[in-house]
């Protein structure tokens, strides 16, 4: 298994290189001058522009610029943005918000999604099952930003103005602590939550038909033990995979949610940086996200072997 991990890590290197190259090239191809973008609507002073171009090698050919960037990267230097801030600082400031948000979302979708799915599966064809099926279908078909704005209006604004309840901050507020993440995390989790509920339902229904569940019943085990030990234990295998893959998507997908709720995380940062042509920040953030993807993927694959002893990695 150790060798398997080493192989996977080695395989990750070209993926990360490819990702940085792609993002670097895409930002390079964006029309508009990054130094001019810094000045906004005003016309920037041509001498300053020329000076900054020189400082950031902006007039060099693309490949040379990329080469400079790579060399820096291998020395652990993510470079700096056009305002002179180290990219590492920008990222370490923004990432904790997004990590908090994504992890809260992950917990919400796991708990609510799995519970809803289990209840639906065990009450198949009844009212509660249909309720889960229809509501999840709605959540899946409504865009996240609509859900975001609606919940912000209902739970953030209305609850405050109509009932005087201030539980969910309308806009992100550091002082509110963990509470500030609840509503955004729920919005961020909503689509995945719906998928997990449906996936759990299907998976559990399938597993409950298996021969070994029949054996468990024939052993005289309690219904709870049959469902949890023999049903869920097997039904959760595909769900763990989904959750692992989803952590990366949640962090990348936070752009919209962070925008709606004003959370200063990497989604926010990414959006601004693309707008400002801040190549180094965009590449840094995206590469970090790629790393998260690769890492969670590896963890999921390893977890898979723990959950299903039939799988072995050599």
Partner 1 sequence: MTDTTKPSGARDGGPRLDAVELLGARRENLVPGTPLLEVDDLHVEFATRDGIAKAVNGVSYSVSAGETLAVLGESGSGKSVTAQAIMGILDMPPGRITAGKILFRGQDLLRMSSKARRAVRGRKIAMIFQDALSSLNPVLSVGFQLGEMFRAHHGTSRKEAKDKAIELMERVRIPAARQRVNDFPHQFSGGMRQRIMIAMALSMEPDLIIADEPTTALDVTVQAQVMDLLAELQAEFHMGLILITHDLGVVADVADKIAVMYAGRIVETSPVHELYARPAHPYTKGLLNSIPRLDQKGQNLYAIQGLPPSLLKIPTGCAFNPRCDRTQDRCLVELPPLVPVLDAEGADLPGRHSACHFWKETLHG
Which residues sit at the interface with partner 1, rule CB under 8 A? 210-212, 214-222, 225, 229-230, 233-234, 237, 307-310
- Cβ count within 10 A of residue 244: 21
Q: Are 283 and 69 in contact (CB under 8 A)?
A: yes
Alpha-helical segments (H) within the chain: 2-29, 34-39, 46-55, 62-74, 87-122, 127-141, 144-151, 159-163, 179-208, 211-218, 223-225, 233-252, 254-261, 266-275, 279-307
Cβ-based nearer residue to partner 1, 175 or 314 = 314
Least distance to partner 1 from the beta carbon of 220, Å?
Answer: 3
Count of residues in the chain: 314
Q: What are the φ/ψ torsions at residue 57 (nearest 5 degrees)? A: 55, 35
Cβ-based nearer residue to partner 1, 43 or 310 = 310
Q: Is the dihedral of CA 252, 256, 259, 262 positive or negative?
A: negative
Cβ-based nearer residue to partner 1, 165 or 217 = 217
Cβ-based nearer residue to partner 1, 231 or 253 = 231
Rounded Cα–Cα distance for residues 196 and 198 (Å): 5
Least distance to partner 1 from the beta carbon of 247, Å?
Answer: 23
Structure tokens at 140: 């899946």
Cβ-based nearer residue to partner 1, 204 or 247 = 204
Least distance to partner 1 from the beta carbon of 129, Å?
Answer: 15
Least distance to partner 1 from the beta carbon of 309, Å?
Answer: 4
Angle at 106 between CA 96 and CA 289, to 5 degrees: 50
Cβ-based nearer residue to partner 1, 236 or 276 = 236
Least distance to partner 1 from the beta carbon of 244, Å?
Answer: 18
- Cβ count within 10 A of residue 151: 18
Rounded alpha-carbon distances, angstroms, from residue 271 to 142, 252, 275, 308: 22, 11, 6, 40
Least distance to partner 1 from the beta carbon of 216, Å?
Answer: 7
Cβ-based nearer residue to partner 1, 126 or 233 = 233
Least distance to partner 1 from the beta carbon of 208, Å?
Answer: 10
């Amino acid at each position: 298994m150790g060798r398997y991990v080493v192989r996977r890590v080695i395989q990750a290197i070209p993926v990360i290189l490819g990702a940085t190259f792609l993002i670097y090239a895409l930002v390079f191809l964006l029309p508009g001058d990054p130094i001019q973008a810094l000045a906004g609507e005003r016309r920037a002073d041509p001498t300053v522009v020329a000076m900054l171009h020189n400082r950031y090698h902006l007039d060099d050919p693309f490949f040379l610029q990329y080469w400079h960037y790579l060399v820096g990267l291998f020395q652990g230097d993510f470079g700096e943005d056009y305002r002179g801030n180290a990219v590492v600082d920008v990222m370490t400031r923004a990432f904790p918000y997004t990590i908090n948000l994504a992890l809260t979302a992950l917990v919400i979708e796991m708990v609510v999604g799995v519970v809803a799915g289990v209840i639906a599966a065990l009450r198949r064809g009844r009212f509660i099952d249909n309720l889960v099926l229809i509501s999840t279908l709605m959540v899946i078909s409504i865009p996240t930003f609509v859900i975001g704005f609606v919940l912000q209006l209902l739970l953030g604004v209305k609850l405050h103005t109509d009932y005087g309840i201030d539980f969910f901050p309308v806009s992100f507020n550091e002082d509110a602590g963990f509470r500030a993440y609840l509503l955004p995390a729920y919005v961020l989790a909503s689509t995945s939550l719906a998928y997990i509920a449906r996936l759990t339902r299907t998976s559990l229904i399938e597993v409950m038909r298996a021969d070994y569940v029949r054996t468990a019943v024939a052993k005289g085990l309690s219904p709870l033990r049959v469902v949890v030990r023999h049903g869920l234990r097997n039904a959760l295998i595909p769900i763990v995979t989904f959750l692992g893959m989803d952590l990366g998507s949640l962090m990348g997908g936070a752009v919209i949610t962070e925008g709606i709720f004003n959370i200063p995380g990497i989604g926010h940062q990414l959006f601004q940086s693309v707008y400002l042509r801040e190549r180094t920040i965009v590449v840094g953030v995206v590469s970090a996200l790629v790393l998260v993807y690769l890492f969670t993927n590896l963890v999921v694959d390893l977890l898979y072997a723990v959950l299903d002893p039939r799988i072995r990695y050599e």
